[in-house]
Amino acid sequence: MAEMNFGGVVEQVATRNEFPLEKAREVLKNETIAVIGYGVQGPGQALNLRDNGFNVIIGQRKGGKTWEKAIADGWVPGETLLEIEEAAEKGTIIQYLLSDAAQIEVWPRIKPYLTAGKALYFSHGFGITYKERTGIIPPADIDVILVAPKGSGTSLRRMFLEGRGLNSSYAIFQDATGRAKERVIALGIGVGSGYLFETDFKREVYSDLTGERGTLMGAIQGILQAQYEVLRENGHSPSEAFNETVEELTQSLMPLFAENGMDWMYANCSTTAQRGALDWMGPFHDATKPVFEKLYKEVACGNEAQRSIDTNSKPDYREKLEEELKALRESEMWRAGAVVRKLRPENN
């Protein structure tokens, strides 16, 4: 563990320096890692583990697009690509990477294979934290651990192929074997994490649900849409509104403030932009903070989790979801965006 000072607060961080890949391979040399689910995290984690030299099998329901995707990625039916129950039986570590709703439905079929000494691994604190709602209550004689990559499974794989690592959180809910810590860190390194930050299941799920509903996705779409609409309502063309709202953000400023921080960005724009941004950040902060407070409360009391469980388990969920996604895709802002993106040098 390395001690790192984050803006004045010292935290313990697991790194590849003191826990290199060779050590991770040694820790897991007798384990069979069964990755259950091959959606977004499944492929990223399973392929990175396989390329890193671990013994991996996939458990996925047969037929359909994801089964075919697994075959295309080199998993062999009957050998490394199995039905969910068969993989759970063979695995000594069960990486439970079904969607959070499917984890609830499939739980009774997985549980019989969670025999003494195995490890149950999650990439989200959802199932365990909201256990009264999910019914996911593991037996006491297994390890229950978490590695949650802080990003998409697609980025996890891309960054691995670029020789970089994505930051992950890790947590231990139950240590039945005395090996939970070395198992979880070894798995975190194996799936392609750059650095591993300690948390617990509850803090992981509260922060993750807040983040994705907030600045990572929900808030950002809301704020982009609001600015786009105001520009359009005041006579600006779609391209002008889109360029000034999204394209400049993602193509020019985001890479710069990713590299150097927003403090640097504020110090390195025109004095006009600087004055305006300094004056307007306060009103935007004050307008949105109550929304974030409400969001956090909804997450912490379990309402957000329940909403997600209820909607995901409705029989017409997919159709309704498709309607909502279609409305977003067909909004003028994202239709304008599709045309603007085509103009990027790499796309023409």
Ligand X SMILES: CC(C)(O)[C@@H](O)C(=O)O
CB of 315 to ligand X, least distance (A): 23
DSSP 156-219: HHHHHHTT--EEEEEEEEE-SSS-HHHHHHHHHHHTTEEEEEE--HHHHHHHHHHHHHTTTTHH
**Is residue 40 near ligand NAD by the rule CB under 6 A?**
yes
Q: Which of 218, 219, 168 is nearest to 189 (CA)?
A: 168
CB of 276 to ligand NAD, least distance (A): 35
Exactly one of 102, 104, 128, 166 binds ligand NAD (CB under 6 A); that residue is: 102
Active site residue 124: yes
Count CB neighbours of 227 within 10 A: 15
Pick 40 or 176: Cβ nearer ligand X: 40
**Is residue 311 near ligand X by the rule CB under 6 A?**
no
Exactly one of 152, 221, 251, 306 binds ligand X (CB under 6 A); that residue is: 152
Pick 207 or 245: Cβ nearer ligand X: 207
**Residue 106 binds what, of ligand NAD, ligand X, Mg ion, none (CB under 5 to 8 Å, by partner type)?**
ligand NAD
Using CB under 6 A, which of the segments 50-58, 208-216, 224-232, 264-272 binds ligand X? 208-216
Cα 80 from chain centroid (whole Å): 25
Annotated ligand binding at 270? The verdict is yes
- Per-residue HEC secondary structure of 140-164 comes to CCCEEEEEEECCCHHHHHHHHHCCC
**Is residue 100 near ligand NAD by the rule CB under 6 A?**
yes
**Is residue 167 near ligand NAD by the rule CB under 6 A?**
no
**Is residue 55 near ligand NAD by the rule CB under 6 A?**
no
Task: Point out which residues pair with 198 in neighbouring strands.
Answer: 170
Pick 151 or 194: Cβ nearer ligand X: 151
Q: Which of 124, 150, 183, 213 is catalytic?
A: 124
Annotated ligand binding at 212? The verdict is yes
**Is residue 216 near ligand X by the rule CB under 6 A?**
yes
Pick 212 or 332: Cβ nearer ligand X: 212
193-198/166-174 β-pairing: parallel
List own/partner pairs for 5-10 with CB under 8 A and 24 or more apart.
none
Q: How far apart are CA 181 and CA 172, in angstroms?
A: 7
Burial 137-148 (b: 16+ CB within 10 A, else e): ebeeebbbbbbb
**Is residue 304 near Mg ion by the rule CB under 5 A?**
no
Pick 108 or 345: Cβ nearer ligand NAD: 108
**Is residue 208 near ligand X by the rule CB under 6 A?**
yes
The 8-class DSSP code of residue 57 comes to E
Q: How far apart are CA 335 and CA 34, in angstroms?
A: 41
**Is residue 208 near Mg ion by the rule CB under 5 A?**
yes
The 8-class DSSP code of residue 121 comes to E
Using CB under 6 A, which of the segments 136-144, 147-155, 157-165, 291-299 binds ligand NAD? 147-155
CB of 206 to ligand X, least distance (A): 12
Q: Which of 82, 13, 25, 78 is nearest to 52 (CA)?
A: 25
Catalytic residues: 124
Residues that bind ligand X (CB under 6 A): 151-152, 208, 212, 216
Q: Which residues define the annotated binding site?
A: 208, 212, 244, 248, 270
